[in-house]
Amino acid sequence: MDPTASIHQVAILDAHATIAAGVRALVAAEPDFEVQGVFQSVSELKSKFELTIPHVLIMDLQLGDESVTSEIRELSYRHPELPILVFTLLDSRTYVHDAIAFGALGFLSKASTHQQLIEALHAVIKGKHFFGAELGASVVNIDDEAIPVNLLSRRELDVLKRLALGFSPKEIGFELGLSDKTIHAHKNTIRQKLGLRRQSDIIRAAFSAGVVNVRDLVG
């Protein structure tokens, strides 16, 4: 796949047929883009990827019952050269952080203009992050409210890493030579210090601390 090619192949993953058709028309109208295909499910997309990989993927976060963030993670791992632009109505800060943490390069609201979509495509193809201005100043920079991981001790960072990777307190305790009770205490301290509640929060904190990356999470 050559990102410097004059015509960039674009794949669109969106379960909403009407919206997907509109995105296809907008992209196809640009002289330097060509729509490789429009897909309504990840399984359809993967079947196409067995034959050819596009220069960029535009994808929604609302795909029925499919776990889209895990799919972003897998696609980023298996095709690290593939830029992913999330194009969705789910434009809260949490969704932005989750998508970028799992490997997407850009995040754009479906309320964006045609020009913003094209600008985003050009940016991610060049390997640059892109956030739509309509998301607001609070999410334009993914590090604008960085998680204060500097509050954690070395041991707490060790525990954070393993929690992000999905290890149970018992497994972490066995690996680190500590009791389950001690690991639970570290877990509670980490959550309190960083204000974490969900597993996705733990993953983002581990990314912020630099103790895990996408390849770690995919395994």
d(CA 56, CA 155): 40
CATH domain 8-140 topology: Rossmann fold (3.40.50)
What average pLDDT score do residues 161-188 get? 92
**Predicted pLDDT of residue 184:** 95
211 falls in which pLDDT band (50, 70, 90)? confident
Q: What is the pLDDT of residue 213?
A: 66
Cβ atoms 107, 84 nearer than 8 A:
no
Domain topology for 149-218: Arc Repressor Mutant, subunit A (1.10.10)
To the nearest whole percent, how much of the chain has pLDDT over 90? 41
Q: What amino acid occupies position 102?
A: F
Question: Strand, helix or coil at 176?
Answer: helix
pLDDT tens figures, 123-159: 999 888 787 765 544 344 444 356 788 899 999 999 9
Which of the residue ranges 60-64, 96-100, 129-133 has the most confident prediction, judged by mean pLDDT? 60-64
pLDDT at 117 over 70: yes
Measured torsion, CA atoms of residues 128, 129, 134, 138, in degrees rounded to the nearest 10: -140
- Which residues on neighbouring strands pair with residue 84, listed in sequence order? 57
In terms of average pLDDT, the best of 40-54, 142-156, 173-187 is: 173-187
Answer yes or no: are the C-beta atoms of 95 and 88 closer than 8 Å. yes
List the chain domain ranges: 8-140, 149-218
